[in-house]
Amino acid sequence: MEIISVYDSRFLDYGQVQEGFDLSGIIRCLEESAPVPADGTMYVPSVPELEALPEARALQNRGFGGLDIQIGYCSGHNDRLTCLEYHRTSEIDIAATDMILLLARQTELEAHRLDTGHVRAFLVPKGTAVELFATTLHYAPCGAAAGQGFCMGCVLPVGTNGKKPQADCRTAEDRLLWGCNKWVIASEKTQEAAAGAFVGITGTPVVLEYN
């Protein structure tokens, strides 16, 4: 699979690089306090120490137009696609290490299923912030090299990825609702699928092959 830079024009179908933010405090905080599991990944939606930084106000006002936000992190070791999710809002990801995002577009879903042939890999260099559009399917990043871990800050409207709301299942998309502002499709034989997530990823499994 080709690994494309987020500075390549092809990324513009999925998101955009965020300019004009001072990310040094957030990255330093992540480097000092965010653990990187040696096996698998972890996600913490809200970290008070990150949200108290001066940079948080800029991300709230300029990045989300004043919406209340939460800042957390995702970290670990990963080299494959297991699930994809989308939100009704954009997400801003801040690379505290080099990392690779595996992305697709909501418009490429057919009957809420996605063939992995549509998935693209994008390299996000350390220190870069990217907005992922609401229509962009994404999940946990991958390391940028074999055996390399990743860590990213994750900025979203407050409550996103929290407890699933109680809602009647009236449409096909309702089957994908997996959390607050979180719709998920899973690959077979994943923890999410075993827990009841909609199995909607088809085609050849995506596993990164590093040079």
Confidence (pLDDT) at 210 = 87
Condensed to tens digits (0 to 9), the pLDDT of residues 51-91 reads 999 999 999 999 999 999 999 999 999 999 999 999 999 99
Which CATH number is associated with domain 3-161? 2.60.120.10
Of the candidates 66, 103, 60, 97, the one whose C-alpha atom is nearest the C-alpha of residue 81 is 103
Strands 15-17 and 129-132: antiparallel
Distance CA 50, CA 158 (A): 14
Confidence (pLDDT) at 122 = 98
Look at residue 19 and give its three-state secondary structure.
coil
Condensed to tens digits (0 to 9), the pLDDT of residues 123-158 reads 999 999 999 999 999 999 999 999 999 999 999 999
Strands 83-86 and 177-179: unpaired
Confidence (pLDDT) at 211 = 76
161 sits in the region (left: phi over 0; alpha: psi -120 to 50; else beta) called left
